[in-house]
Structure 1
Amino acid sequence: MKHQYLLLIIAIVVFGLPACKKDNKSSVAIIGKWQETKLRIYATDSTGAFLYDTTFLRPFTGSDYLQFNSNNTCIIGTDYYYYPNQPNGQEIPPQKITPVTSVMKYTALGSKFVLTPQSTLTNPGGFDVRDTVSTINSNTLLYHSVAYSHVPGIKTMADAYYTK
């Protein structure tokens, strides 16, 4: 009789555990195309002091987007280069370019998503880049990028906001 209970317990554990698996509903929420609406570029030195801080509210076009796909890839589109204001206050306007796209992989990490390049090539500029995406609400994403420069202590960051 003890063996029958043991077999019953084993069967419940084996067949019951998959039912307890949590679905990653957060990745389902980001799937789709998101349009860029705001961009903030800023940098800090080794003490955390701001070197510059520039926010752009335009020009964003249909070519400025994030497209999250169900196969864990993200297409990033842009058609402008954006430059931060100079320390002396000089503003450099965004530069129109031919639309370009890049493809990255994304994986869930807690409440955020980590973006990684599909290529394993070393960045020729010597930068170590870390990109994450988080949801602000059901219609707004924050794409946060940090570039650790080859200049010791300098971090350049960009916060891009997207809506569905």
Structure 2
Amino acid sequence: MESGEKSCHRSPYHIPRIYIEGIGSDEYLELVDSTARRTDRCSGRRCFGKAIYGTLLDEIADLLAKKATRSFIVVLPPDYRKGLLVEAGSYLEPVPLEGMRVVIHVCEGDRVEEGSTLGFIATRKFEVRHIRSHVEGVVVYIYSSPEGPPDRNIVFIAPEEVVQTVTVQS
């Protein structure tokens, strides 16, 4: 992982976008080979509907089975031209970060190794804990529960071989 401030932490306005296969929306990505094209309707090809980022959990992941339940594409800021495609059935390792205050140190698209820092949590006893990854792979999605306190987040890490990079066109 790179040192210094990452682009995903520089601006609160640079939020990834998520598109989920099989859901309805007013904006879609149509996938052909490794290129996804934005459109306002599906034309019969592989179609991914836009959803609100960071709040969907049951629609894309089974926490007990540790796998993706639907295929999804996470489009990365700041230019939104690169996406991470994870196919349904792919292994996803959920790493929870829960505490009175959570600071996430990784971004979507980051490659992590076993022992890499994912974030920090502050407990009710005002202890700060360092949360590290117990697997290696690519951060593909970060879920943030809208309920709280405490802050509840889950960093999903997929094996590098199941993450496909797609080019996103307007």
Q: TM-score scaled to structure 1, two decimals?
A: 0.28
Q: TM-score scaled to structure 2, two decimals?
A: 0.28
* Structure ID, larger Rg: 1
Give the structure with the larger helix fraction.
1
